[in-house]
Amino acid sequence: MTNSTIKPKKGQCLDCPPGTENYLTAGRCKTHYWNHRASLKPVKITDIGKPIPKVSAKQLENLKKYRKVRDEFMKNKSCEAKLNGCTGKATDLHHAKGKIGELLTDKRYFKALCRSCHSYIEVHPEFAKENGYSLNRLSN
């Protein structure tokens, strides 16, 4: 048994006949409290069963802008890295400072790369930083 300092309230239930005394929760005895709760209008949740979107509406707008900028930038580009195994034709857009916030569409940090060079740069971050393919986001 616990030594609680909180004493259960005893009194007249709102729904019981007068003269009966019970332990109360929100002014009702246990039975009438739960009957009252069951009678309340259930909360409507209209999105039950709908899948959660993979991308928010705000991010969709950002991606629309990004696609236009990316497509314009990548027109007739050749690979800027020219590493071993380079195919020459740029197919990937590398973001030297990342894609967070305004950097997503900042052309100053775009690098047009072939798939082979882009894969190498992503897998070897030290090489990428040493050779200027990846930049620190915090520096100017």
Total domains in the chain come to: 2
- State which residues form the domain around 35: 10-39
62, 90: one domain: yes
Residue 115 resides in a domain: yes
80 shares a domain with 35: no
> pLDDT tens-digit profile of 69-97?
999 999 999 999 999 999 999 999 999 99
Residue 132 CA to chain centroid, in angstroms?
30
Per-residue pLDDT of 12-55, as tens digits, reads: 998 898 888 888 888 899 889 888 888 887 766 676 777 888 99
Q: Can you tell me whether residue 11 is helix, strand or coil? A: strand
Residues 120 and 69 in one domain: yes
Residue 78 lies in a domain: yes
Q: Is there a domain that residue 140 lies in?
A: no
Tell whether 91 is covered by a domain. Answer: yes
Dist. CA 90–CA 74, nearest whole Å: 7
What's the DSSP call for residue 36? H
Provide the whole-model pTM: 0.60
Q: Are residues 33 and 85 in the same domain?
A: no
